């Protein structure tokens, strides 16, 4: 392995650093986007079972004890329950966009690596070919070691760039789809929660007494 890296020339070490960054962000996003951290099961069940004002207090306490994107959105929805339903929904959509941006942080790094890793490999390939032709100009075609070294630099960096880009592309696509899926799930839970809360409020509004006209 070490010989493979050495044979790739100076751009190989840039590619190694790129791979370390890629793996780091893949692990970090994998841990951060676990469903139980974004949509805690306990909070999900509490939202589905919420029927009374007392249940709202328990949900607020649960959101504060277990911070999560869904929890922050639920707290905002409860805080704005005195507002009209349309205003609450609009405010919640704005907050939801911020939460989605928070979930997507780091994905841009993976996207950049997907694009630059093959290009770095190509630069390493060109460097290897330049080295090859430069050495051949001094030694001629008789030195096989010089030719092998130039070809190794060219091919090794190309291979390394692809080996970095392909897994990173898979991870980026998977995490992007997972953020979208989690966003839809949170939207569904919150929409159902708001509908039930505003229906409950409508039932609790006292009906004015009917006066009999003579």
User: Could you tell me the pLDDT band of residue 80, with boundaries at 50, 70 and 90?
Assistant: very high
Q: What is the pLDDT of residues 115-160, one digit of tens each?
A: 999 999 988 888 777 777 776 666 655 656 666 666 766 788 888 9
Distance CA 23, CA 122 (A): 21
**Mean pLDDT across the stretch 23-39?**
95
Distances (CA, A) of 42 to 37, 46, 47, 64, 193: 11, 6, 9, 13, 15
Confidence (pLDDT) at 214: 47
Q: Which has the minimum average pLDDT: 1-15, 43-57, 95-109?
A: 1-15
Confidence (pLDDT) at 131: 73
Distance CA 191, CA 92 (A): 10
**How do the domains of the chain map onto residue ranges?**
2-201
Name the nearest CA neighbour of 120 among 2, 22, 3, 1: 22
Distance CA 149, CA 129 (A): 10
């Amino acid at each position: 392995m070490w010989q493979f890296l050495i044979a790739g020339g100076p751009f190989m070490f840039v590619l190694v650093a790129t791979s370390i960054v890629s793996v780091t962000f893949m692990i970090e996003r994998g841990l951060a986007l676990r469903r139980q951290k974004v949509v805690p099961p306990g909070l999900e069940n509490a939202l589905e079972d919420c029927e009374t004002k007392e249940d709202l207090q328990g949900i607020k306490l649960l959101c504060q004890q277990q911070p999560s994107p869904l929890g922050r959105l639920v707290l905002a929805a409860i805080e704005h329950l005195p507002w009209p339903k349309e205003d609450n929904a609009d405010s919640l959509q704005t907050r939801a966009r911020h939460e989605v941006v928070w979930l997507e942080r780091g994905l841009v790094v993976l996207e950049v690596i997907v694009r630059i890793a093959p290009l770095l490999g190509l630069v390493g390939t060109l460097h290897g070919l330049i080295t090859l032709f430069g050495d051949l100009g001094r030694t001629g075609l008789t030195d096989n070691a010089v030719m092998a070294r130039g070809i190794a630099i060219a091919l090794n960096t190309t291979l390394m760039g692809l080996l970095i880009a392909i897994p990173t592309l898979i991870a980026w696509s998977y995490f992007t789809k997972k953020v979208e899926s989690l966003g839809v799930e949170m939207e569904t839970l919150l929409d159902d929660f708001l509908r039930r809360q505003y229906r409950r409020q409508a039932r609790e509004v006292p009906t004015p007494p009917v006066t009999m006209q003579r």
